[in-house]
């Protein structure tokens, strides 16, 4: 199966640090950001040096390891209070992507178990590093299985629209929506991708096109407001996007603008698929209205890159995500199989086995 040609996150044991491909500088510069402190990991997540729900979760897991390294005293010990503070600092970085909280819950469980056993700081750090490596490996394996399932839905020669970036840049290694596309291409289906730019931070134009060009998968960039037009012209066969949080009823939060694309797909009778691992499903929330939506800096909208395009004093509303109702979603592609939104609750006990 096609492997990504770049590494989004890498743990450097010799430096006891997390190396990130800094996505703030793509596509013009491929720079790396090495996180050696808890504060650096938290800032990397907040400022989108690393982004995408699965990648945020993996980065946060390694962030816990770095936090414990920092907090370990001369006596080689760490208090329960300090460990909780490390978890809390990372949890406060971004509110919408549930993978962040899923990964931190795993790290907290392992860490608290180690503290109860009386492990010293070094032993606790090593235990947590093993769990972080496990989360990384599970992320990669899940997305490869997800890709294989999703590729079965893709007709040969399909023209696919995707929104934002749900590729290897947004994950440990392989990708969700772009993982499906990679798998379909590997299967010889000769797909063609339309990537919309994804205002205001242009993850589609900056990141998705960069990834696909690296993989030599045909891609055409369009502006966000061109999607419905392209559908009406018969240029699009289906839509695949990722997700940051999926409620129990199938309502899905993804990058702002996804809801508009879903409405356009429904109007043109085109399949609209969500590709996400089961760690993105939040069964504690009955429906999408309960998903917390992050609001970001107004200057992301007042500026286009570094150029100011709106008056400094104009009021700005800048939600980072919107919620697509389950009724607009044809299917949700996971590493456990393909489900309609209505099938999620039933599949929870029998197939998904996801903890709330």
Residue 2 has pLDDT above 50, yes or no: no
What pLDDT does 349 receive?
Answer: 67
Angle, helices 53-71/121-151, rounded to nearest 10 degrees:
170
Q: How many CB atoms lie within 10 A of CB 131?
A: 19
Residue 354 has pLDDT above 90, yes or no: no
The average confidence (pLDDT) of the chain is 94
Q: How far is the C-alpha of 19 from the C-alpha of 6, rounded, in Å? A: 12
How many residues appear in the chain?
A: 356
Residue 222 has pLDDT above 90, yes or no: yes
Q: Looking at per-residue confidence, does 350 or 23 come out higher?
A: 23
Buried (b) or exposed (e) across 186-225, using 16+ Cβ within 10 A?
A: ebeeebbbbbbbbbbbbbbbbbbbbbbeebebebebbebe
Q: Give Cα 37 distance to the centre of its chain.
A: 22
Burial (Cβ within 10 Å: 0-12, 13-18, ≥19) of residue 237: middle
| Averaged pLDDT, 23-34 | 95
Q: Give Cα 75 distance to the centre of its chain.
A: 38
Residue 59 has pLDDT above 50, yes or no: yes
- Per residue in 271-290, pLDDT (tens digit) is 999 999 999 999 999 999 99
348 pLDDT band, cuts 50/70/90, is confident
What pLDDT does 75 receive?
Answer: 81
4 pLDDT band, cuts 50/70/90, is low
77 pLDDT band, cuts 50/70/90, is confident
Neighbouring-strand partners of residue 132: none
What pLDDT does 356 receive?
Answer: 39
H-run or E-run covering 87: helix 80-91
Q: How far is the C-alpha of 142 from the C-alpha of 227, rounded, in Å? A: 30
What pLDDT does 305 receive?
Answer: 83
Residue 1 has pLDDT above 50, yes or no: no
Residue 296 has pLDDT above 90, yes or no: yes
Is the Cα torsion angle 118, 122, 125, 126 positive or negative in sign?
A: negative
Token pair for 98: 């549930």
**Where do the domains of the chain lie, and which CATH numbers do they carry?**
9-144 (1.20.120.420), 147-352 (3.40.50.10470)
| Averaged pLDDT, 200-220 | 96
H-run or E-run covering 334: strand 331-334
Q: How far is the C-alpha of 356 from the C-alpha of 344, rounded, in Å? A: 13
Q: How far is the C-alpha of 167 from the C-alpha of 11, rounded, in Å? A: 20
Residue 130 has pLDDT above 70, yes or no: yes
Token pair for 173: 């290694």
SS3 state of residue 8: coil
Residue 355 has pLDDT above 80, yes or no: no
- Per residue in 88-102, pLDDT (tens digit) is 999 999 999 899 999
Residue 353 has pLDDT above 70, yes or no: no
Q: State how far the alpha carbon of 264 is from the alpha carbons of 160, 177, 327, in Å.
A: 14, 19, 13
Catalytic-labelled residue, pool 224, 244, 251, 322 = 244
- 244: annotated active-site residue: yes
Q: Looking at per-residue confidence, does 318 or 346 come out higher?
A: 318
What pLDDT does 173 receive?
Answer: 85
Token pair for 86: 């490390």
Q: What percentage of the chain has pLDDT greater than the value 70?
A: 96
- Per residue in 169-194, pLDDT (tens digit) is 999 889 999 999 999 999 999 999 99
291 pLDDT band, cuts 50/70/90, is very high
């Amino acid at each position: 199966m096609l492997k990504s040609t770049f590494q989004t996150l890498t743990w450097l044991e010799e430096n006891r640090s997390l190396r990130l491909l800094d996505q703030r500088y793509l596509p013009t510069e491929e720079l790396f950001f090495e996180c050696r402190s808890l504060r650096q990991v938290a800032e990397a997540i907040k400022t989108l040096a690393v982004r995408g729900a699965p990648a945020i979760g993996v980065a946060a897991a390694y962030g816990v390891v770095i936090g414990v390294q920092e907090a370990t005293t001369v006596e080689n010990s760490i208090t329960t209070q300090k460990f909780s503070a490390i978890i809390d600092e990372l949890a406060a970085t971004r509110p919408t992507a549930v993978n962040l909280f899923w990964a931190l819950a795993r790290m907290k469980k392992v860490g608290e178990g180690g503290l109860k056993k009386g492990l010293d700081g070094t032993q606790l750090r090593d235990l947590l590093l093993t769990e972080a490596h496990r989360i990384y490996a599970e992320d990669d394996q899940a997305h490869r299985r997800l890709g294989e399932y999703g590729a079965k839905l893709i007709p040969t020669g399909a023209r696919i629209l995707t929104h934002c970036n749900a590729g290897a840049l947004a994950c440990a290694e392989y990708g969700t929506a772009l993982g499906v596309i990679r798998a379909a291409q590997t299967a010889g289906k000769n797909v063609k991708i339309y990537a919309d730019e994804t205002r205001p931070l242009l993850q589609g134009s900056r990141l998705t096109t960069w990834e696909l060009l690296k993989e030599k998968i045909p891609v055409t960039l369009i502006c966000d407001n061109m999607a419905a037009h392209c559908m009406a012209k018969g240029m699009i066969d289906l839509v695949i996007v990722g997700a940051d949080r999926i409620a129990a009823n199938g309502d899905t939060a993804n990058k702002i603008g996804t809801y508009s694309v879903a409405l356009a797909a429904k109007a043109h009778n085109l399949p609209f698929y969500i590709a996400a691992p089961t760690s993105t499903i939040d069964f504690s929330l009955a429906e999408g209205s309960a998903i917390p939506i992050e609001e970001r800096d107004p200057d992301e909208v007042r500026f286009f890159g570094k150029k100011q395009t709106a008056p400094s004093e104009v009021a700005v509303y800048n939600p980072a995500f919107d919620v697509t109702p389950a009724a607009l979603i044809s299917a949700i592609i996971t590493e456990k199989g393909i489900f309609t939104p209505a099938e999620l609750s039933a599949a929870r006990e029998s197939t998904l086995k996801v903890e709330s």
